[in-house]
Amino acid sequence: MPRLFVAIDLPDPVKDDLTELCYGIRGVRWVKREQLHLTLRFIGDVEDDLLDTLSDALGQVRAAPFSFQLQGVGQFPPRGAPRIIWTGVKAPPDLKRLHGQIESVLQPLGIDPEDRPFSPHITLARLKEAPASESLRQFFGRHVHFKSAPIPVSRFVLYSSLLAPEGPTYTVEGQFALT
């Protein structure tokens, strides 16, 4: 039973820039460079026989290519002990429309809509325990003005994820061009 999500891949220079941000906080698990992506929709575990149907549905999404920028850093939840450290996405309307189209083709397949608003971001680190507040303040202070060059988007990807103690392994299950 594959665990699936839909994402936008990031160009290598952007992954390089993000990797340079990932230091200075003890006890966090930084996301590996090759796994940095913008999640459009986490689907979760699905039956094997639904994979082809999902790919067909995602192939019906029609959207024009666009670009977006990364901007700033933050944490989830926004207050209290962080569980995720992220860089934000300056989301153009095209990104939100793409997300909405993906939601609309998944719902007829019995995949419930997400129960929280779409909050585009790139996860940089996951935390099991809260690090020293001083190291968090220093990290956020160092990167508060982080901003990427525009990132062109010409496709999105359906991934499966295999969880393991050393971290997940992602496999491309389908790629969908924006035209």
Whole-number Å distance between alpha carbons of 90 and 71: 6
Looking at residue 174, its amino acid is G
Closest CA to 5 of 49, 65, 56, 58: 58
Pick the catalytic residue from 99, 121, 143, 145: 121
Q: Sheet of 169-177: strands edge to edge? A: 37-45, 3-9, 155-162, 169-177
Pick the catalytic residue from 37, 99, 143, 145: 37
Catalogue the E-assigned strands of the chain: 3-9, 28-30, 37-45, 66-76, 84-90, 121-127, 151-153, 155-162, 169-177
Helices (H) and strands (E) in the chain, counts: 4, 9
145 is known as an active-site residue: no
Whole-number Å distance between alpha carbons of 162 and 42: 14
143 is known as an active-site residue: no
Active-site residue numbers?
37, 121
